[in-house]
Amino acid sequence: MKINLDRVIKDIETLATFTATPGNGVTRLSYTKEDRAAREYLISEMKKIGLKVWEDGFSNLFGRREGKNPEAPVILIGSHYDSVTNGGAFDGVAGVVAALEVLRVFEENNIENYYPIEIIAMNAEEGHRFGVGTGVANSRALIGRFVEEELDLAKDKNGISKRQAMIEYGFTPDLESAKRPEGSIKTFIELHVEQGPILDNNKKEIGLVEDFPGIGRYKVKFQGELKATTAPMDIRKDALVAASKFVLAVNKILKEIGGGITGNVGELTISPNSHQFVPEFAEASVEVRVFDDKVLSEVNLYEEFKKEIEAIEEETKVKIELSEVARRGYSNPTPPSHMSAKNNEIAKKICDELGYSCMVLKEGTGHDAMMMSEFIPTNMIFVPSKRGGITHHPDEWTEYEDLKKGIDVLLYSVKELSSSEEMQQD
């Protein structure tokens, strides 16, 4: 039972050609002709190994290898194949190709699986076309957490709504049919390149993700008054002074909450941005990550920010507006997600048997697996990213030998999880 690295390389290299920016990384936004070309390639590769191929009401692409018990819940493996603008050849695609290769090996070796195995290829993970808050859309639909109105409210830079884009691509969005019934999936495993340098820095070959933080995002607008810099100090309403106080307040609040919560103002614009004026307006973005479920049950972050803002308004006379940039259907921050400890144990054992060094990671970026974990036991297998761990960039790079090791871990995990009914009694 061996994976064929040449085939994997061919898949990665072929998929990288379906880009809107040849010579400058991979640009494959959702529901574009590049998306279509990648999908057609995947469909033809899935058909070559006799998978039953279909698409759900939300453009998720599936390839199914039947199980000895067709009624049993499926082992779902895969990732996304959309990219950001000028992204790399590995983010997302690595996991789709890994899933495909696993089922090729199953087919070649006549490996018997009691549980059906399905590949899922998702095409709107990055949310790059329709903007912040629109990512991980396919997985949200699959678990029944996609809110219908997003189809019309989410628009690309040309004003095309997600609904319209999907229809033009050939799908009439049908959320009801995209939602998988409770109990129909046994587990989901996503292989992905690490979006950071931790594995490479620690010289580890495999990363097993333990938890994902919950994420909160806030926008704050500061409305002061336009005045020349000659204005006396006591009549000013300086938006930047108010914003500065808020930056410090966020830092103070999060330190006081503790429990591993992290966050800061990471974006700040002021206008006019000129030495001749007292800033009239400022806008700040806050991003917060929560690792401990307890933190959210004990603190209401919005209220904490609000309290400080009222004090700053009083002091500076600047009007301040706070809003949560929440994913539709969620309170903000989203709760932390936890990967299946049991499946991580299995993967750890496989790494030991294969002689691959592995480490547990707490990852900071967003993935479909985070959504899936609300619904079914879920795991992520990370492989190292080179060149300082950069992703979402034309220079994104994973050594093929490292990718092969990740696929091995996926292969043996799927083999174990899909094998016999008896072995799987919890």
Binding site for Zn ion (CB under 5 A): 91-92
Considering the complex, what minimum distance in angstroms separates the CB of residue 383 from Zn ion?
Answer: 12
Q: What is the DSSP string of 331-369?
A: -SSPPPEE--HHHHHHHHHHHHHHT--EEEEE--S--HH
Q: Counting Cβ atoms within 10 Å, is residue 192 exposed (0-12), middle (13-18) or buried (19+)?
A: buried
Of 126 and 205, which CB lies nearer to Zn ion in the complex structure?
Answer: 126
**In the complex, what is the shortest distance from the CB of residue 142 to Zn ion, in angstroms, rounded to a whole number?**
16
Q: How is the chain split among helix, strand and coil, in percent rounded to 5?
A: 35, 20, 40
Q: Could you tell me the two tokens for 239?
A: 């938006």
Residues paired with 378 in a beta bridge: 188
Tokens 């590949």 sit on residue: 119
**Of 125 and 308, CB closest to Zn ion:** 125
Q: Which residue has the tokens 């994902």?
A: 212
Which residues, listed in sequence order, are joined to residue 267 by a DSSP beta bridge? 285
Residues contacting 56, CB < 8 A, separation 6+:
62, 141, 142, 177, 178
Question: How many of the other CB atoms lie within 10 Å of CB of 271?
Answer: 14
Alpha-carbon span 296 to 280, nearest angstrom: 35
CB of 231 to Zn ion, least distance (A): 49
Long-range contacts of 416-419 (CB under 8 A, 24+ apart): 416/346, 416/350, 417/75, 417/115, 417/186, 417/187, 417/343, 417/346, 418/67, 418/75, 418/113, 418/114, 418/115, 418/117, 419/112, 419/113, 419/114
Distance CA 216, CA 366 (A): 12
Q: Which is nearer to Zn ion, 128 or 289 (CB)?
A: 128
CB nearer Zn ion, residue 45 or residue 82 = 82
DSSP 114: S
Q: Which two tokens stand for residue 103?
A: 């089922």
- Tell me which DSSP letter residue 308 carries: H
Query: What 3-state DSSP class applies to 57?
Result: coil
